[in-house]
């Protein structure tokens, strides 16, 4: 098995290099897809047809269970903007993030609380995904990693960020690899002061983990940091008043050797850096992240000497009001960055033509609370969802749970439709992924 997966990795890396070059040099209007996906993944050509939403069950709402919800976004469809399928997994597991395999045939989704992983078949019938396999032994197989978060496609592999551990439910966390078939491969623990594994920056290392993204042509992988189980499963208001809990947030981004999976350098990035987004241009050696607690945009970049650095480059709103930046999305031409802020329910657009000097050029309040953003490759369509975590979402009338779709004309967002997940009896709308029949020759 190990020889086969290594061969898959090598052949996939060669193919991916050609794919990255083709994507970087092709006209950006040629495809429509999330702009923040793995470069190893198959791409959608044309209009996305469905949006899959990984949804956390709510007590007293529908079947109360986590589920994968499918929404039809084909403009000429009689069910455009409507829910056309829903697959429940039974129970509430803190449904959070999900990601496709590199061939895009399967969609992996995880529960942060129970650490269950659900693998959906999305290729047999694109509009009606079915549950293909459930992994219930993630914690034991990984050696104690807890809270599968990001699911990131590698050649023949799925790279998963775990947010915590089963010893103290704190911030020491790991990267965990599986084959596309769901077989455990390896665990790579995030550098900490007691275990740097050859990386520099021990004075900053804290072991925290959140997101992972790669830049194959530079043999670079980045991970960011967040917080452990004891915080993300705590009531948000209670946590904000708990001085000890507020100390339990990551302050780092780690640079890795992609091929060897060895950490090389730990950067200090204060304030809990979340999503990582690499620029797409063939000569653009940089990535963005944002910090949830300090409301800043950070640039992880290669300097003129070939050394990687981390630099704070812009503020997001008024940090004193804790807008809580959450998801971000970079446009395929590397000119703009969408930044969602949870507390004020606002989407902000930054001009990042000069990555060292981002400038806000647009903003729009989407709802009482806001979390995820996905945009088409051509930038013409933007989708938003609301839920952050069950214990962090707002209470009462402000606990809006929706997917909203907009057109972007270069000047403003034009509303197309809203799916109210609470009224539909679905639950808390979290992460989105796109689907299209064209991927599978149909």
- pLDDT tens for 94-115 read 999 999 999 999 999 999 999 9
The candidate with the shortest Cα–Cα distance to 68, out of 47, 101, 90, is 90
- Domain harbouring 280, CATH code: 2.130.10.10
Range 144-158 average pLDDT: 98
Range 230-235 average pLDDT: 96
Q: Which residues contact 145 (CB under 8 A, 6 or more apart)?
A: 115, 138, 139, 162, 164, 165, 166, 173, 174, 176, 187
Q: Which residues contact 18 (CB under 8 A, 6 or more apart)?
A: none
Whether the CB-CB separation of 338 and 325 falls below 8 Å is answered with no
Q: Which helix H or strand E contains 165, and what residues bound it?
A: strand 157-165
Q: What's the confidence (pLDDT) of residue 3?
A: 36
- Residue 48 CA: distances (Å) to CA of 90, 383, 386: 28, 12, 21
Enter the pTM of the model: 0.92
The angle subtended at Cα 142 by Cα 138 and Cα 144, nearest 5°, is 90
- For residue 31, the enclosing domain spans 2-440
- Residue 425 CA: distances (Å) to CA of 80, 98, 129, 390: 19, 21, 19, 16
> Number of helices (H) and strands (E), helices first, in the chain?
5, 28
Provide, rounded to the nearest whole percent, the portion of the chain with pLDDT above 90.
88
Number of domains, the chain: 1
Q: What's the confidence (pLDDT) of residue 45?
A: 62
Q: What's the confidence (pLDDT) of residue 43?
A: 77
Grouping H, G, I as helix, E, B as strand and the rest as coil, residue 434 is: strand
Range 276-299 average pLDDT: 97
Q: What's the confidence (pLDDT) of residue 22?
A: 37
Q: Residue 371 pLDDT more than 80?
A: yes
DSSP-assigned letter for residue 149: E
Average pLDDT, the chain: 92
Q: Write down the residue that tokens 């959070």 correspond to.
A: 96
pLDDT in tens, 11-57: 344 334 433 333 333 333 333 357 888 999 987 766 899 999 999 99
Range 386-410 average pLDDT: 97
The candidate with the shortest Cα–Cα distance to 426, out of 55, 44, 53, 1, is 55
The candidate with the shortest Cα–Cα distance to 270, out of 252, 246, 297, is 252
DSSP-assigned letter for residue 70: E
The separation between CA 351 and the C-alpha centre of its own chain, rounded to angstroms, equals: 21
Q: What's the confidence (pLDDT) of residue 48?
A: 94
Provide, rounded to the nearest whole percent, the portion of the chain with pLDDT above 70.
92
Spatial distance between the Cα atoms of 227 and 229, rounded to a whole number of angstroms = 7
Spatial distance between the Cα atoms of 39 and 62, rounded to a whole number of angstroms = 37
**Bigger pLDDT: 312 or 28?**
312
Joined together, the tokens standing for residue 76 give 């000429």
pLDDT in tens, 65-80: 999 999 999 999 999 9
Q: What's the confidence (pLDDT) of residue 442?
A: 62
Q: What's the confidence (pLDDT) of residue 374?
A: 96
- Residue 276 CA: distances (Å) to CA of 2, 64, 66, 224: 29, 32, 26, 7
């Amino acid at each position: 098995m190990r020889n086969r997966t290594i061969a898959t990795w090598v052949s996939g890396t060669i193919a991916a290099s050609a794919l990255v070059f083709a994507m970087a040099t092709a006209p950006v209007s040629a495809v429509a897809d999330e702009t923040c996906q793995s470069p190893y993944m198959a791409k959608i050509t044309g209009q996305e047809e469905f949006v899959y939403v990984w949804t956390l069950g709510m007590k007293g709402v529908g079947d109360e269970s986590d589920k994968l919800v499918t929404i039809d976004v084909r403009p000429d469809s009689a069910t455009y903007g409507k829910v056309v399928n829903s697959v429940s997994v039974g129970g509430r597991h803190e449904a959070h993030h999900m990601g496709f395999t590199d061939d895009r045939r399967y969609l992996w989704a995880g529960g942060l609380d129970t650490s269950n992983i659900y693998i959906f078949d999305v290729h047999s019938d694109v509009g009606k995904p079915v549950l293909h396999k459930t992994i219930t032994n993630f914690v034991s197989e990984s050696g104690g990693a807890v809270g599968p978060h990001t699911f990131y496609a590698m050649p023949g592999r799925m790279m998963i960020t775990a947010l915590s551990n089963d010893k103290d439910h704190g911030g020491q966390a790991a990267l965990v690899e599986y084959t596309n078939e769901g077989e455990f491969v390896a665990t790579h623990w995030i550098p900490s002061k007691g275990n740097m594994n050859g990386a520099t920056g021990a004075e900053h290392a804290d072991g925290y983990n959140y997101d992972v993204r790669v830049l194959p042509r530079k043999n670079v992988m980045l991970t960011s940091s967040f917080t452990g189980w004891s915080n993300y499963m705590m009531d948000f208001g209670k946590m904000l008043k708990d001085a000890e809990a507020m100390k339990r947030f990551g302050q780092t981004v780690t640079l890795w050797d992609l091929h060897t999976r060895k950490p090389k350098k730990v950067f200090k990035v204060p304030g809990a850096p979340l999503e990582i987004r690499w620029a797409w241009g063939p000569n653009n050696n940089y990535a963005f992240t944002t910090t949830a607690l300090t409301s800043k945009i950070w640039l992880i970049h290669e300097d003129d000497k070939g050394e990687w650095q981390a630099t704070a480059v812009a503020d997001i709103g008024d940090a004193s009001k804790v807008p809580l930046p959450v998801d971000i999305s970079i446009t395929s031409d590397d000119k703009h960055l969408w930044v969602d802020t949870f507390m004020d329910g606002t989407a902000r657009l930054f001009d990042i033509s000069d990555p060292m000097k981002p400038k806000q050029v647009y903003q729009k309040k989407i709802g009482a609370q806001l979390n995820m953003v996905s945009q088409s490759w051509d930038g013409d369509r933007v989708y938003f969802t609301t839920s952050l975590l069950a214990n962090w979402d707002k209470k009462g009338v402000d606990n809006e749970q929706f997917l909203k779709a907009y057109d972007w004309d270069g000047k403003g967002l034009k509303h197309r439709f809203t799916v109210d997940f609470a009224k539909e009896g679905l639950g808390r709308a979290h992460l989105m992924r796109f689907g299209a029949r064209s991927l599978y020759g149909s």
